[in-house]
Amino acid sequence: MHADNAIDIELRSQTLELGPWVGWLSIAAVAAGIALGIGAAHRPLLLALTAAAALGNAAGGLIPWREWLQLRRGQLLVDVWSGALIVFVASLVIGGGPSFALLLFVAVPFIAVVQSGWRRFFWLGASVGACTTSAVIVQLPAAATVMRIALVAAAVFAALAVARALRRTATRAELERALAREADHRMKNSLQVAADLVVLDHAEAAARIQSIATVHRLLSASSTELEAQSLLDAIAAHVSSNVTVEAAPLVLAPSTAQKLGIVANELITNAVRHGSPPVHVRLDADRRVRLRVDDAGRLRGASGLGLELVRRTVEYGLRGTFELRTLPGAGTRAEVVFPACAS
């Protein structure tokens, strides 16, 4: 929703920035009409209206619409501009005759695009009311009034259709840019982790990098999030078929899934290679996420390159803690705990 709102503001601000240029062309057309004698009986009034429109148009060109449209004063100024346009055109029609009604084909579509929500309907209704009122005052035939309103309505629908198409195009472009940024972010993370793995242990680097590939494959097959059960199942299956996995329902963000995948791969591989079956993996999630990897073997040394990788990833990547201890009776437990907000 935030991206859609930003795109809407961008389109409206660009239209408002273009507005003064169209305004100057309209003012020039009005001035030419006055010079040619249109509305000669009310020339002073028409000149005064044109001068006022020129001042307002110049002021509108100085407003930083991109910033102001996000504020209340910006929307109020758009309302003032819309009302002034309607009054200007209606006054020209009443004072100078129906020839100036052609300005409706510029003014009303402009109002339709720069306004949004209920304000758009309000100001379009005000435009129809002003058009009808001015037609009655100048005694324009009903058929001509209906035709003008219908043509202006067609112009409004065309302008809104173009604006909608531009919004859709901008939305798709923004989505593509967001996906590209996400892919770039994941690639950078993966390369950094891969580099760390190679530095830590050349002999087992390939197996560890394979766990990164597993995470990427699962993320690509799902969306931007990943179920913890699917992640742990895939990693356990890659290490050994004799590992059981039990995970609470938990959805992981891509960066967390990547880090947890590295940690789980190290701990499961360590338990399978250096411990004794059965190996059981359990993940619980409440206010904190708790990953346990249990096996029936005796506690091995709490040092080594693999365990150092786990500690670094847990402490600096997941902002959690790692502990390796002997279970009561027999067996070894590797336990990782980190805040649920990291997921």
CATH topology of domain 201-342: Heat Shock Protein 90 (3.30.565)
SS3 at position 43: helix
Count of CB atoms situated within 10 Å of the CB of 171: 14
Cβ–Cβ < 8 Å for 338, 319? yes
- Cα–Cα distance, 106 to 19 (Å, whole number): 10
Amino acid at 137: I
Per-residue pLDDT tens listing for the chain (343 residues): 455 677 778 888 888 888 888 888 888 988 888 888 887 778 888 889 889 989 988 988 888 888 888 888 889 999 999 999 999 988 888 888 888 888 888 888 889 888 888 999 999 999 889 888 888 888 877 887 788 788 888 888 887 787 787 777 766 666 556 555 555 555 555 555 555 555 555 555 555 666 666 666 666 665 567 888 988 998 888 887 789 999 999 988 877 888 888 889 889 888 888 888 889 999 998 889 999 999 988 876 666 677 888 888 899 889 999 998 888 878 899 999 999 875 5
Q: Are strands 288-295 and 226-227 parallel, antiparallel or unpaired?
A: unpaired
Q: What is the DSSP letter of 315?
A: I
Q: Sheet containing 288-295: give its strands across.
A: 243-247, 279-285, 288-295, 332-339, 321-326
Least Cα distance to 254 among 167, 325, 193 occurs for: 193
- Cα–Cα distance, 89 to 2 (Å, whole number): 36
**CA geometry: angle 27, 28, 29, nearest 5 deg:** 90
- List Cβ neighbours of 154 (8 Å cut-off, separation of 6 or more): none
Task: Please state the domain extents for the chain.
Answer: 2-174, 201-342
